[in-house]
Amino acid sequence: MRVWAKERPFGTELADVCIGGGRLSASGLAIGTDPVPYRLDYQLSTGDRYVTARLTARAQGHGWHRLLELVRADTGRWSCRTEAEGMPALAAPGGNLAPLAGALDCDLGLSPLTNSMPVLRHRLHEAGEPIDLLMAWVSVPDLSVHASRQRYTFVRRERHARIVRFESLDDEFAADISFDPDGLVLDYPGIARHVA
């Protein structure tokens, strides 16, 4: 079980994570406060080489809920099923998936877990050249899906951590993320840090 304390917005995330044989699966729960208080439950599974197979996410708050089942087929085609009730100020879940053509990974907003998939696939927690990626970024708590261009760069090895720089290629955001030797996030500055 992994526990991360969220920095932005304030909250926490607990995830039961299994990594082995080039695959990752996880079941998690996150609590957040922005733009409204919410609870997020998710299940994530990958295929070979940590490529996303399915993300199921359920977000709920007082008088509203959202559901997203995001699937990447072996052919590379993305599809989704959604539900929404209440809270009209939140964006609708899902969206136009055509811009995701070529994406291998989902990126669950504000979750440090999904940064592990590209890092593990390219072994960027050990060494390597910068890698530019297209991600299926899932906004939380509305669960809308957007194409997100990102760059990951190995920076250095430390005694108990490996540092990988994350850069959004769509805006100015960047952070040096600390990973443990298994490729899971220890500290994602401004987002979350591992506490247990």
Nearby residues of 64 by Cβ (< 8 Å), 6 or more positions away: 85, 86, 87, 90
> In whole angstroms, what is the distance from residue 89 CA to residue 73 CA?
32
The number of folded domains in the chain is 1
Global pTM value: 0.96
How confident is the model at residue 38, as a pLDDT? 96
> In whole angstroms, what is the distance from residue 173 CA to residue 49 CA?
27
How confident is the model at residue 177, as a pLDDT? 98
> In whole angstroms, what is the distance from residue 87 CA to residue 11 CA?
20
User: What is the residue range of 53's domain?
Assistant: 2-194
How confident is the model over 13-31, as pLDDT tens digits? 999 999 999 999 999 999 9
Q: In this structure, what token pair is assigned to residue 137?
A: 């970024």
The per-residue DSSP string of the chain comes to -EEEEETTTTEEEEEEEEEETTEEEEEEEEEE-SSS-EEEEEEEEE-GGG-EEEEEEEEEETTEEEEEEEEE-TTS-EEEEEEEES-TTSPPSB---GGGTT--EEEETT-SGGGHHHHHHHTTTT----EEEEEEEE-TTT-BEEEEEEEEEEEEE-SS-EEEEEEESSSS-EEEEEE-TTS-EEEETTTEEE--
How confident is the model at residue 5, as a pLDDT? 94
How confident is the model at residue 88, as a pLDDT? 82
Contact 3, 12 (CB under 8 A): yes
Contact 126, 181 (CB under 8 A): no
Residues in the chain predicted with pLDDT less than 70, given as ranges, are 8-9
How confident is the model at residue 51, as a pLDDT? 98
> In whole angstroms, what is the distance from residue 53 CA to residue 31 CA?
24
